[in-house]
Structure 1
Amino acid sequence: MFESPVEEGWRYWVRWQVPVCGLIIAIPCAFALKFIRKSMAKPLLLSDLWSTHWRHLSPLWLLLYRAFAFVCCVQLLYEIVALHGPFVFFFYTQWTMALVAIYFALGTVVSAYGYWCPSRKTHSKNEEDVKLMEKDLKKNVDIVKEDTIKVQNECAQQEFQEKAGCLGTLMQMAYLAAAGASVLTDVVFWCLLVPFLLGENFQVSLLIGSIHALNAVFLLGDTAINSLSFPFSGFAYFVAFGGLYVVFQWTVHACCVNWWPYPFFELSTPWAPLWYLGLAVIHIPCYGIYALIVKAKYSLLPRLFPHAFVKTF
């Protein structure tokens, strides 16, 4: 039987497994923060956050969908907290659901702003500015090929498009991290916990099943509609989110909690570094699964719906 960190005191944290496991978590997080800094320097367009890839689907439907998903996520969190208390936030599942709720909250606000606020007026003004620039180009250049004019106009339009602010950046970060976290949560629950631990001490209720399924379902529905990109660099947000959860677990166990919500977090076993290494490595296929889904979206949907789906990249 393992000794708890609270009962054993400081001796629990000076064993050799602690710095090894700490490095296994810290090194990927350090690289993740480096990628995050680089990715934040790239401009993010506001129109990518609230528009859709479907010609005849109004962005209003995406707004309503995000608002509905946010309400459902908050309701699920409320019900599980009311049933088990705030203690449930020791588990990664509730962290994931909270992150999904944050994404849909930010998405609802950004979609509302993009649909009703000055971005559309700015876009119409941008079109006028582009037309003026086109006239100037025609006056100053005698012979210009038609395709060259189109390229210049597209560049001008992109230059005038409104950039996404901090809110839009946080929304993109939450989306990329929540995608990987949802896959990790649901795969571990349905493929490991349910088949091997289901019994008298572990039962799947409607609430537990919903909170381990609707997180991914809501995100997949949003992915099918939205225009958000899913870059490889987004993996850094997923890694940082996982590292933050581990830091949280270590902190609360060093201060007041004498048990681990997941047995693979236990540091007193000689197998702890292998468990933590496996925990770090499993992030790769989980993010990769969602990346493949997004890739399939841009390869299959244009073929299935050639006149309805707009493939921009």
Structure 2
Amino acid sequence: MENSNSGLGFGYYYWLQWQVLVCALIIILPTAIAVNLLRKRGGEPVKTADLWAPCWRNLHPRWLLFYRAFAFAAMSFLLYQTVASFGFFVFFFYTQWTFALVVVYFALATIVSTRGCRVQARKPLAQSGERHRFLKKDSEEIKYDTSSTSKEKVGGGFIKLESDHNPNPDEEQVGFLENLLPILYQVSVLDIIHSEGVFLSSFTLSCYAYGHCLLVSSAPIHDEVQASVSALKHLIGCMHSLNAVFLLLESALNRLSFPWFGIIYFVFWSCAYIVFQWVLHACCFTWWPYPFLDLSTTYAPLWYLALALVHIPCYGLYVLLVKAKNAALSKMFPHSFVRCN
């Protein structure tokens, strides 16, 4: 499709097609539902120890810190090399969005783990809030007795104990970074499953049907851009694999929970990329990085609907993986493994 005389991306007639309105509704409706669910969700308590303590009792938190720092350094180096070689043009593709998100997660996780190790260094593990998780039933009874007897009757009066002022004196303060870390983790793992699924399915279709990768547009573009895309395709497989490996190891080590509302932030992230692409194409770009995002075909609403619906099985698959992890490892290592909530 040719551009208009204004020279801005596609002509205005491109955005007046009926499929554009349908695709816009497919984006707006899930976003509105996600916003409504987020407003009704309310506050969820964050257990700070779950952010930096491993799910293995005998594994010191510093090992999780070392792993997160190594993952951040390795992925940051690869992202830097990619941007240095191809410029910020690489962020035109969803793969780099996902990769950058995981880099940010590991950077934040390293900071939180550093704080956690400092907290543990100031007090033994048996004296911290982790005691209630390790001693299970007995510690829960002690905690209940302590809270129920926080006031003692002496000589007709009441003596207020220290627990009345601070019911959890060993619990460190929850800040912005501690609240942001679970959100980034939930979006990252769902994003990896989503992008890996699209990548593998597109690669399979390219092998059996088209003979070229569906993850890169086959539309005619400038020679210099085409050369960059061709070179960048060689890094896509490596970045996909590195994303998956590092997050799988992270999931096997950490104790982060995975509540149902994690899919809300995943929807926001996906919609942000779609809006990003639409804005670019409305302003300056005339080709799509992925052909299933092209709005000029009559099948565009079906593609967008499929991309929207695939969020549900992605969430369900990871929930099954978490439950399988808890069920299998708790039976295999009953005295070493700590179940994730």
**In which range does the TM-score fall when normalised by the shorter chain?**
0.7 to 0.9
How far does the alpha carbon of each residue in 1:14-41 deviate from its partner, in whole angstroms, 9 at most, with x for none?
2211221111011111222233344462
| Residues 1:270 and 2:310 aligned together | no
2:307 corresponds to which residue?
Answer: 279
| Residues 1:311 and 2:339 aligned together | yes
CA contact (8 A) 1:97 1:211 kept: yes
Report the more deviating stretch, 79-88 or 278-287.
79-88
- The structure 1 residue matched to 2:108, chosen from 106, 109, 115, is 106
Q: What displacement does 1:93 show?
A: 0.6
Q: What displacement does 1:96 show?
A: 0.4
Report the more deviating stretch, 202-211 or 234-243.
202-211
Rounded to whole Å, the distance in 1 between the matches of 2:329 and 2:274 is 38
| Residues 1:220 and 2:245 aligned together | no
**TM-score after normalising by structure 1:** 0.83
Aligned-pair identity in percent equals 47
- Tell me: CA distance 1:229–1:52, structure 2 relative to 1, closer, same or farther (3 Å): same
Rounded to whole Å, the distance in 1 between the matches of 2:253 and 2:3 is 47
1:15 corresponds to which residue?
Answer: 17
The one-letter code matched in structure 2 to 1:31 is I
CA contact (8 A) 1:44 1:163 kept: no
The one-letter code matched in structure 2 to 1:102 is V
How far does the alpha carbon of each residue in 1:204-263 deviate from its partner, in whole angstroms, 9 at most, with x for none?
977332201111211111111111101111011111100000010001111111111011
Secondary structure (helix, strand or coil) at the match of 1:43 reads coil
Alignment of 1:1-313 (within 5 A): 2-3=1-2, 6=8, 8-39=10-41, 41-117=43-119, 121=123, 124=127, 134=146, 137=149, 140=152, 161-193=171-203, 196=206, 207-311=235-339, 313=341
Rounded to whole Å, the distance in 2 between the matches of 1:195 and 1:14 is 31
- Tell me: CA distance 1:277–1:120, structure 2 relative to 1, closer, same or farther (3 Å): farther
CA contact (8 A) 1:63 1:111 kept: yes
2:135 corresponds to which residue?
Answer: none
The one-letter code matched in structure 1 to 2:46 is L
How far does the alpha carbon of each residue in 1:27-83 deviate from its partner, in whole angstroms, 9 at most, with x for none?
111222233344462221211111112110001011111111111111221222233
Query: How many residues align structurally?
Result: 296
Report the more deviating stretch, 244-253 or 25-34.
25-34
CA contact (8 A) 1:59 1:115 kept: yes
Larger CA Rg, structure 1 vs 2: 2
- Tell me: CA distance 1:207–1:9, structure 2 relative to 1, closer, same or farther (3 Å): closer
Secondary structure (helix, strand or coil) at the match of 1:85 reads helix
CA contact (8 A) 1:66 1:107 kept: yes
Rounded to whole Å, the distance in 2 between the matches of 1:48 and 1:285 is 26
Higher helix fraction: Structure 1 or Structure 2? 1
How far does the alpha carbon of each residue in 1:83-106 deviate from its partner, in whole angstroms, 9 at most, with x for none?
322111111110001111111111
Q: What displacement does 1:288 show?
A: 1.9
- Tell me: CA distance 1:39–1:165, structure 2 relative to 1, closer, same or farther (3 Å): farther
Q: What displacement does 1:164 show?
A: 2.5
CA contact (8 A) 1:110 1:167 kept: yes
CA contact (8 A) 2:9 2:282 kept: no
CA contact (8 A) 1:70 1:105 kept: yes
Q: What displacement does 1:8 show?
A: 4.1
Report the more deviating stretch, 191-200 or 107-116.
191-200
Rounded to whole Å, the distance in 1 between the matches of 2:253 and 2:61 is 9
Secondary structure (helix, strand or coil) at the match of 1:229 reads coil
2:139 corresponds to which residue?
Answer: none
CA contact (8 A) 1:50 1:111 kept: yes
Rounded to whole Å, the distance in 1 between the matches of 2:26 and 2:238 is 32
- Tell me: CA distance 1:312–1:177, structure 2 relative to 1, closer, same or farther (3 Å): closer
The one-letter code matched in structure 2 to 1:166 is F
| Unmatched runs of 5 consecutive residues or more in structure 2 | 132-141, 154-162, 214-229
Q: What displacement does 1:311 show?
A: 2.4
Q: What displacement does 1:183 show?
A: 1.0
